[in-house]
Amino acid sequence: MPAACAAVLCAESKPLSRVAQASANGACSFVDECQDAADCVVAYNAKQCCGCAESMPAQLVDSEPCLLGPDEDVIPQECAVACPLIACGACPGPPEPSCVIGDSLNVCR
């Protein structure tokens, strides 16, 4: 008789960092997103429905065309997504980008 399984709520887990780097042997690992607040910018993901501005690593925003500044309103064609016809709630005001110095990795918050 198979063992009973308990139901669990699965939350989406966030990566340790949104920035990865290849080592000399080709293995990828997470690296610091920032050294100080100047390395973080306010942007939003144009591929998300109802996305709000958040603090992100500047190097990520510079390399990804679908991450847009809060004042950018022209979404590149390759970033357009079909969102359901639902009313999006109001976003909070843009955050003040900061670099949180962590025990293992620094992240933009």
- The token pair at 68 is 């847009």
* DSSP summary character for residue 58: H
Rounded to an integer, what distance in angstroms lies between the CA atom of residue 108 and that of residue 47? 20
Per-residue pLDDT of the chain (109 residues; tens, 9 = 90+): 566 677 776 767 788 999 999 988 999 999 999 999 999 999 999 999 998 999 999 999 999 999 998 888 899 999 989 998 889 999 998 889 999 999 999 999 9
Beta carbons within 8 Å of 21's beta carbon, 6+ residues apart = 28, 29, 31
pTM greater than 0.75 = yes
Segments making up each domain of the chain, as ranges:
29-84+93-108
Contact between 85 and 62 under an 8 Å Cβ cutoff? The reply is: no
